[in-house]
Amino acid sequence: MSDLLLIFTDYTLRNVALGSAMLGVVGGVLGTFAVLRRQSLLGDVLAHAALPGICLAFILTGAKAPLILLVGGGLAGWLAAWLVLAVLRHSRLPEDSALGVMLSSFFGFGVALLTFIQHSNNASQAGLDQYIFGQAATILASDVLNFMVLGSIALLVVGLFYKEFKLLSFDPGYAHSLGLPVRGLNTLLTSLTVLAVMVGLQTVGVVLMAAMLIAPAAAARQWTDRLSHMIGLSALFGAMAGASGALISATRENLPTGPLVVLSMSAILLVSLFFAPLRGLVWDWARTRQNRRRVHLERLLLDAHVLHAHGTLTPQALAERRREPVTVALRNLEALRSLGWVQEHPQGFILTPTGEQKAHELEQAMRVLLHRVEGSS
Amino acid sequence: MIAQPKTVQNPGSGVSSPLSVRDLTVVYREKPALWDVDLEVPAGQLCAIVGPNGAGKSTLIKAVLGLVPVASGQVRFFGQSLEQARKRIGYVPQRGSVDWDFPTSVLDVVMMGLYGRLGWFRRPGRLEREAALRCLEQVSMSEFAERQISQLSGGQQQRVFLARALAQNADLYFMDEPFAGVDAVTEEAILHVLHQLKGQGKTVVVVHHDLQTVRDYFDHLTLLNVQVIASGPMDETFTPENLKQTYGERMRWQV
């Protein structure tokens, strides 16, 4: 609890938490569109491609003003995205290959530039490598202000073009047929994603940035079937991860903020994947199990019904019919009895009236089903 | 029937055909998907485009709507260019072309048909909701308005797409395989809408795959196999020779 209060009193922690939360919000909102348009990997390319831009901005200006470096990174990311599109339009390279090649080329070039700068004996170069994994601890109030401005621009534009972006994500062909400038909107949305990446470069760095685009949106999708709610939840999850990552890293020495923000986000995603109502895996498993169990019992009852009609519903007869050991047949009969479908009888077992009625209903349903299968083929 | 002289280049000269295509060629990589297609669609009729797989039926629709790049050719709508006539044209894409797990409701999808009319920065409001609901009613899908679209059957998806196009309130409709893989209820609903549209004097161009039903459903037929094999009123065009020429010798259907 005392850590939580630090957020209001500790200058560094407040900046770090605010910066990370802002990244979470912007990444969450733009990531929603990236995920829905199946362009998650493009976010990864944008982020990795920023590294050579940062290095070039430093070489050209000799300054380490964060905003200049961020703009350099953003431009490089934007160029990479444009190159991916150009490659896709003019070559037969599949999309994932184009994305992968662009990512590694730009990142490789960035690392090469970084090494070059580090050996150039430029005293002010120290710390440039923080952009690879991020170093949130160095975030200043002026950086937070930058994030706010960049993030606000991105969010404002999303607000303005919300309905167009929605249609573009759902059905670009139809959007085109309505006369919407699909290519322009594509470029705009990609550019906004570049802004989100710029917000994240100092905090989580180029390598982990993609997580802040993909994970909040993927988690949010689990909880809702409405785009507007998904965007809101995604922003909320991103902000929660950002703030809690910052807080956790403040509790001990030598805990890096960026990776902890991403880990917090992964935790939220895991919980969402497993436990979100409707789409959660746990409920899926439970429903499947329940259905299997129900079908198993119904088939059992139908077998019992046949034997009952012959007057030989005994564990031995059931075992023979179902080709299972007598012990299993006994257990199965016990299961049917606990449902009130069979009862014991001097010659073994018989169906109860409830059991008979249920069996009749099942046979009726089977007949309808079979009829439908035949009818449709 | 005497071929109409092609006066389509001068807009405003008399009554222009809803769709007039001249010398349209589309090339994917090396192989032409459409070759030198000429087509005049008569106003106020239900027109089918029929041909074998890979004949370029969908490509033709997409090309006239500017959705795929065109190598050469001219397309006029009511004597106007696509840009000028945009608001008079409605489109029903193949339902398999989108992700139906997208987080949105049936009503939201239908309202998308009004986005072109709404213009920039305006959100759909009460009027748009009511208009969309009326369109859903026309395809008997009112009770599904608030449903998430992933919960729909294939036929219901098709009707949602149809309702979205109806919301556009166009004069000329393009529908890409609306009857493909739908249930009997949906087939009835689509036919009902087609006849309604015809009754309102609108023109509908439908890519169709089923030779058994094409004669009953449509007034005008275009047989396509990369080139236009034949195009005209159903009775004159739906002939064994034309079909053989379109589908090749080994045609599976008895006519």
Residue A4: pLDDT over 80? no
A to B CB pairs, distance under 8 Å = 71
**Same domain, yes or no, for A41 and A171?**
yes
Burial of B249 (C-beta count, 10 Å sphere; 0-12/13-18/19+): exposed
**Same domain, yes or no, for A191 and A313?**
no
Q: A225, B104: Cβ pair inside 8 Å?
A: yes
**Same domain, yes or no, for A212 and A338?**
no
Q: Which structural domain range is residue B94 located in?
A: 19-234
**Same domain, yes or no, for A249 and A321?**
no
Within a domain: B247: no
- Please give the tally of structural domains in chain A: 2
Within a domain: B89: yes
**Same domain, yes or no, for A252 and A294?**
no
Within a domain: B251: no
How far is B150 from chain A, CA to nearest CA, in Å?
9
Q: A171, B98: Cβ pair inside 8 Å?
A: yes
Q: Which structural domain range is residue A319 located in?
A: 283-376
Query: In terms of Cα–Cα distance, which of A50, A99, A100 is closest to A79?
Result: A50
B9 CB-near residues (< 8 Å, 6+ apart)? B74, B76
How far is B7 from chain A, CA to nearest CA, in Å?
26
Residue B231: pLDDT over 50? yes
Which of A276, A311, A326 corresponds to the end of one domain? A276
Name the 3-class secondary structure at A349.
Answer: strand
Name the 3-class secondary structure at A284.
Answer: helix
How far is B2 from chain A, CA to nearest CA, in Å?
33
The C-alpha atoms of residue A175 and residue B109 are separated, in whole angstroms, by 12
Beta bridge mates, A344: A349
Contact list in A for residue B104 (CB cut-off 8 A) is 166, 170, 225-227
Burial of A159 (C-beta count, 10 Å sphere; 0-12/13-18/19+): exposed
Token readout for B123 is 């959100």
**Same domain, yes or no, for A15 and A71?**
yes
Cα of B251 vs its chain's centroid, Å: 25
A171 touches chain B (CB under 8 A): yes
> What average pLDDT does range B107-116 have in this prediction?
95
A334 touches chain B (CB under 8 A): no
The C-alpha atoms of residue B232 and residue B50 are separated, in whole angstroms, by 12
Token readout for A251 is 């509790």
CATH number of the domain within which A123 lies: 1.10.3470.10
pLDDT value, residue A2: 57
Which of B98, B105, B118 to mutate to test binding with chain A, by most A CBs within 10 Å of its CB? B98
User: For residues A205 and A110, is the Cβ–Cβ distance under 8 A?
Assistant: no
Q: A178, B118: Cβ pair inside 8 Å?
A: no
pLDDT value, residue A349: 86
The C-alpha atoms of residue A263 and residue B98 are separated, in whole angstroms, by 33
Name the 3-class secondary structure at A201.
Answer: coil
How far is B116 from chain A, CA to nearest CA, in Å?
5
Within a domain: B12: no
- Please give the tally of structural domains in chain B: 1
How far is A99 from chain B, CA to nearest CA, in Å?
22
> Residue B45: how many CA atoms within 13 Å on its side-chain side?
18
Q: Out of A160, A163, A229, whose CB is closest to B115? A: A163
Within a domain: B132: yes
> What average pLDDT does range B193-218 have in this prediction?
94
Beta strands A348-351 and A342-345, pairing class = antiparallel
Within a domain: B2: no
**Same domain, yes or no, for A287 and A268?**
no
CATH number of the domain within which A365 lies: 1.10.10.10
pLDDT per residue as tens digits for the range A177-210: 999 999 999 999 999 999 999 999 988 999 999 9
Per-residue DSSP letter, A223: H
Beta bridge mates, A51: none
- Mark out chain B residues that contact chain A at CB-CB < 8 A: 62, 65-67, 83, 86-87, 89, 91, 93, 97-99, 102-105, 108-109, 112, 115-116, 118, 120-121, 123-124, 148, 150, 164, 168
pLDDT per residue as tens digits for the range A313-329: 888 888 889 898 989 98
What secondary structure, in 3-state letters, does chain B show?
Answer: CCCCCCCCCCCCCCCCCCEEEEEEEEEECCEEEEEEEEEEECCCCEEEEECCCCCCHHHHHHHHCCCCCCCEEEEEECCECHHHHHHHEEEECCHHHCCCCCCCEHHHHHHHHHHHHHCCCCCCCHHHHHHHHHHHHHCCCHHHCCCEHHHCCHHHHHHHHHHHHHHCCCCEEEEECCCCCCCHHHHHHHHHHHHHHHHCCCEEEEEECCHHHHHHHCCEEEEEECEEEEEEEHHHHCCHHHHHHHHCCCCCCCC
Within a domain: B9: no
> What average pLDDT does range A93-103 have in this prediction?
93
CATH number of the domain within which B190 lies: 3.40.50.300
Contact list in A for residue B66 (CB cut-off 8 A) is 176-177
Q: Out of A164, A170, A224, whose CB is closest to B102? A: A170
Q: Give residue for tokens 């910052």.
A: A246
Q: Out of B65, B103, B150, whose CB is closest to A224? A: B103
Q: B86, A230: Cβ pair inside 8 Å?
A: no
Token readout for A258 is 């960026």
**Same domain, yes or no, for A258 and A331?**
no
Contact list in B for residue A226 (CB cut-off 8 A) is 103-105
Q: B112, A170: Cβ pair inside 8 Å?
A: yes
**Same domain, yes or no, for A307 and A229?**
no
**Same domain, yes or no, for A120 and A228?**
yes
pLDDT per residue as tens digits for the range A18-63: 999 999 999 999 999 999 999 989 999 999 999 999 999 999 988 7
The pLDDT confidence band at residue A372, using thresholds 50, 70 and 90, is low
Nearest CA in chain B to A169: B102
Q: A180, B83: Cβ pair inside 8 Å?
A: no
Within a domain: B244: no
Q: A179, B83: Cβ pair inside 8 Å?
A: yes
Ranges A221-230, A247-256, B190-199: which has the least confidence: A247-256
**Same domain, yes or no, for A242 and A364?**
no
Which of A250, A276, A302 corresponds to the end of one domain? A276
How far is A159 from chain B, CA to nearest CA, in Å?
9
Which of A226, A241, A276 corresponds to the end of one domain? A276
**Same domain, yes or no, for A325 and A226?**
no
Question: Which position has the higher pLDDT, A130 or B176?
Answer: B176
* Percent of chain B's residues with pLDDT above 70: 91
